[in-house]
Structure 1
């Protein structure tokens, strides 16, 4: 019984540390939100190719700090747009780092590998408000 309690305590501590690290990794200085519509969103092969290329990009980007890739949940309100296939959120320490990211090898390789897979991309960039 003591072993089970110890395991539960260790697992809880491990998850708490991960949550704290993830929250502290988010840099609100410059947020780059990308919405991607694949040409063939129902194609498992296209999704696998896109995700593999995205994984390589996120692993090798020198400037992107927070790197989040998600898919839309089924919208339950009319105001929510769930028509896209993927959402990428990347944060940068500065607008200058975001400019550098645009020409870095990892980003350019991703575009070259994957641009034939998407039909549309919409990007929203935002600068974080100064903290008080």
Structure 2
């Protein structure tokens, strides 16, 4: 019985020590992003209350999904979230794109489908702001 108790105590001590080490130095393993280049665009409409104009821009943005260098495309409208000083909800439509590399993002800019979107929809927006980023990790 004494041996069983000693084995239990030794095992418990080992488990406790392992838990303490793991807690003291957490291992954070984040998978490297497959699409590290982000292109986020915000559109302000010339006619801010026009659902028709908003829908035309959204339809135009959907055509960009045909461009093969765009790995993921999200189209959004303003969310009804809590009003705070740090939240800008003055825009109407946004697009969030992901690319594998900067070369892909650069080729998107001159792609005929993107140029066609600009030609067909630019008369609908008053202002556009673009935020481009690459993963920092």
Query: By the TM > 0.5 criterion, same fold?
Result: yes
Aligned length: 105
Q: State the partner residue of 1:49.
A: 56
- Of 76, 79, 103, the residue aligned with 1:70 is 76
Ranges in structure 2 where 5+ consecutive residues have no aligned partner: 1-32
Structural mapping, 1:1-132, within 5 Å: 27-58=34-65, 60-74=66-80, 75-130=82-137
Q: Flag the structure with larger Rg.
A: 2
Give structure 1 regions of 4+ aligned residues with deviation exceeding 4 angstroms.
none
The TM-score, its normalising length taken from structure 2, stands at 0.70
The TM-score, its normalising length taken from structure 1, stands at 0.73
Taking the aligned partners of 1:116 and 1:55, their CA distance within structure 2 comes to 17
RMSD: 1.8
SS at the partner of 2:79? Answer: coil
Taking the aligned partners of 1:108 and 1:73, their CA distance within structure 2 comes to 28
Q: 1:69–1:27: structure 2 CA closer, same or farther, 3 Å change rule? A: farther
